[in-house]
Amino acid sequence: MAVLAIRVHIRDNVAVVAADVQADDVVRLDDGSEVQAVEAIPRGSKVALGPIACGEAVIRYGEEIGRATKDIAAGEYVHTHNLARER
């Protein structure tokens, strides 16, 4: 099953999924590119579009919304367990 995700800016390394995603679902962006979900992601949450190393910036709207607090793989669910805003 393919689920739509929305990326706002070309620099973004996360996108928001428009519906609930199950592990192994294909998540498709509006430009046609795809990433395979490695776990379940609730509707409205963020999926990593590529690998994001611990400490690296997580980008949405073309801006930094925080830093990865652990290594994140492509297709992973991104939320409070692996993303925080630090000073």
Interface residue list for other proteins (CB under 8 A): 4, 6, 8, 16, 18, 42-46, 60-61, 63-66, 78-80, 83-86
CA distance 62 to 11: 5
Pairing between β-strand 2-6 and β-strand 26-29 as defined by DSSP bridges:
parallel
Minimal distance in Å, beta carbon 2 to other proteins? 15
44/55 with CB nearer other proteins:
44
Amino acid (one-letter) located at 42: P
31/86 with CB nearer other proteins:
86
Minimal distance in Å, beta carbon 8 to other proteins? 7
CA distance 68 to 84: 7
Minimal distance in Å, beta carbon 59 to other proteins? 10
CA distance 39 to 59: 20
